[in-house]
């Protein structure tokens, strides 16, 4: 049990190190921030700025310096905002997390009941309708869904604000948009894993015992629909990625938009801090999923 947890923790660290290395490498081949900072300056001035910022050192040395600073929780100062990068990212994290959690909650709230119903009433009208919506949802890119929802609910029906993050009403469209990206797959998983267990012997036994249908579904069948937990964990990462696009469409001031802007400006510290923190969240969520598995599935504990 303890070794299992330890092994997962080690994996977590390895993944984070990998993410940092890849981000670092891609950023440093993508361009020269000094050229962006002082495009019209004489080459000599640019060279001296490059020197003073340490860009002339070998990449390995720069990476070592980055890792050393990172161990101290220091991601460096944003080139553009001229402030430490980490607080800038943390400042927006609540917005992105709220959006992601709302979307996750929304898609689970839809996927679980509808998924169960389509499994129980297989080939019913509801099941077919759900399948149709699933295909629709998976085929539409997030930014397009977002714009269509804006056109329908904000421009035509005037029910909700177009964009922003100042009022509660403004949260609705971004959350729904983002949820539409993850809901279809979750629904599919709920449906198929329910179908798998619903006709197993133990469920039949439970029914034979006279347990109410509702209890059979929730207590006996759903608890064994374990793939849902895994997929929901993985989907969380997907949602964080989708949040980047959703934030842009709805002018939401979150981490995603900060990172996209920073990539344009070659603002290395912000990109590194942002990607690292998002990766950290994804890794932690998946770690939590692993731990949840140990709790939910006694077989793992034994092994």
Partner 1 sequence: MEWKRDQLIRLEAFDQHWRGKPPFRQVIFRAIPEVATQVAEIKTGGVDIIRNVSADLVPELRTNPQTYVSSTPILRVHSVELDMRVAPFDKKAVRQAANYAIDKQTVVQKLMASLGRPVATTVQPQAFGYDPEVKAYPYDPKKAKDLLAQAGYASGVDVTLHSATVEFRPVFEAICQMLTEVGIRATPKMWDPGPAWNKFFQGEGKAANGIYFTWGNYSVFDADAVLHPLYHTETGGWIGKWYTRVDGLDRPIDEARSTLDQAKRKRIYSQIQQTIREEAPSIFLWTQYDTLALSKRVEYAARPDEWLWLFDAKPKR
Contact residues for partner 1, defined by CB under 8 A: 30-32, 35-36, 39-43, 91-92, 143, 147, 150-151, 154-155, 158, 161-166, 248-251, 253, 257-258, 261, 263-266
User: What's the rounded Cα separation, in Å, for the pair 162 and 160?
Assistant: 6
Cβ-based nearer residue to partner 1, 41 or 289: 41
Beta carbon nearer to partner 1, 137 or 161: 161
* Residue 159 vs 215, nearer CB to partner 1: 159
Residues in CB range of 242: below 8 A, 6 or more apart: 103, 142, 178, 181, 182
Minimum CB separation of residue 248 from partner 1 in Å reads 5
Q: Of 75 and 250, which CB lies nearer to partner 1 in the complex structure?
A: 250
Report the candidate in 92, 109, 110, 98 with the shortest Cα–Cα distance to residue 174. Answer: 98
Angle, CA 77 vertex, CA 243 and CA 57 arms, to 5°: 110
Cα–Cα distance, 98 to 48 (Å, whole number): 43
CB of 249 vs partner 1, minimal distance in Å? 5
Nearer to partner 1 by Cβ, of 97 and 211: the residue is 97
Closest CA to 287 of 42, 54, 9: 9
In whole angstroms, the minimum distance from the beta carbon of 163 to partner 1 comes to 5
Closest distance between partner 1 and the C-beta of residue 46, in Å? 9
* Distance of closest approach, residue 251 Cβ to partner 1, in angstroms: 4
Cβ(173)–Cβ(149) under 8 Å?
Answer: yes
The pair of structure tokens assigned to 301 is: 């504990």
Which residue, 111 or 142, has its beta carbon nearer to partner 1?
Answer: 142
Judged by beta carbon, residue 41 or residue 133, the one nearer partner 1 is: 41
User: Any residues with CB less than 8 A from the CB of 193 and at least 6 apart, and which?
Assistant: 224, 225, 226, 227, 228
Question: By the 8 A CB rule, do 103 and 175 touch?
Answer: yes
Q: Closest approach of Cβ 30 to partner 1, in Å?
A: 5
* Cβ count near 241 (within 10 Å): 16
Residue in the block written with tokens 């299992």: 4
Q: How far is the CB of 20 from partner 1 (least distance, A)?
A: 20
Report the alpha-carbon distance of residue 196 to residue 300 in Å, rounded. Answer: 20
- Which residue, 230 or 248, has its beta carbon nearer to partner 1? 248
CB atoms within 10 A of CB 61: 11
Q: How far is the CB of 48 from partner 1 (least distance, A)?
A: 14
**Quick check: helix, strand or coil at residue 291?**
helix
């Amino acid at each position: 049990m303890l070794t299992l947890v330890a092994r997962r923790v080690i994996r977590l660290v390895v993944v984070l190190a990998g993410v940092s290395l890849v981000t670092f490498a891609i950023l440093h081949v993508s361009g020269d921030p000094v050229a962006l900072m002082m495009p019209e300056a004489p080459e000599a001035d640019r060279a001296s700025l490059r020197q003073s910022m340490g860009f002339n050192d070998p990449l390995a040395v720069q990476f070592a310096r980055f890792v050393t600073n990172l161990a101290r929780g220091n991601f460096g100062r944003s080139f553009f905002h001229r402030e430490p990068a980490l607080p800038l990212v943390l400042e927006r994290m609540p917005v992105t997390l709220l959006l992601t959690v709302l979307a996750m909650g929304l898609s689970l709230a839809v996927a679980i009941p509808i998924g169960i119903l389509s499994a129980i009433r297989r080939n019913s009208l509801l099941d077919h309708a759900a399948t149709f919506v699933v295909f629709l949802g998976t085929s539409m890119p997030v930014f397009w869904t977002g714009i269509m929802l804006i056109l329908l609910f904000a421009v035509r029906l005037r029910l909700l604000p177009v964009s922003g993050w100042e009022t509660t009403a403004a949260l609705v469209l971004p959350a729904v948009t983002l949820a539409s990206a993850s809901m279809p797959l979750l629904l599919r998983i709920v449906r198929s894993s329910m179908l798998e267990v619903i006709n197993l012997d133990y469920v039949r036994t439970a029914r034979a015992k006279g347990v109410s249908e509702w209890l059979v579904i929730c207590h006996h069948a759903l608890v064994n629909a374990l793939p849902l937990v895994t997929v929901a964990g993985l989907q969380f990462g997907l949602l964080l990625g989708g949040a980047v696009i959703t934030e842009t469409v709805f002018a939401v001031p979150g981490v995603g938009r900060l990172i996209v802007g920073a990539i344009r400006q070659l603002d290395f510290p912000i990109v590194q801090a942002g990607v690292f923190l998002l990766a950290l969240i994804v890794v932690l969520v998946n770690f939590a999923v692993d731990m949840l598995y140990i709790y939910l599935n006694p077989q793992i504990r034994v092994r």
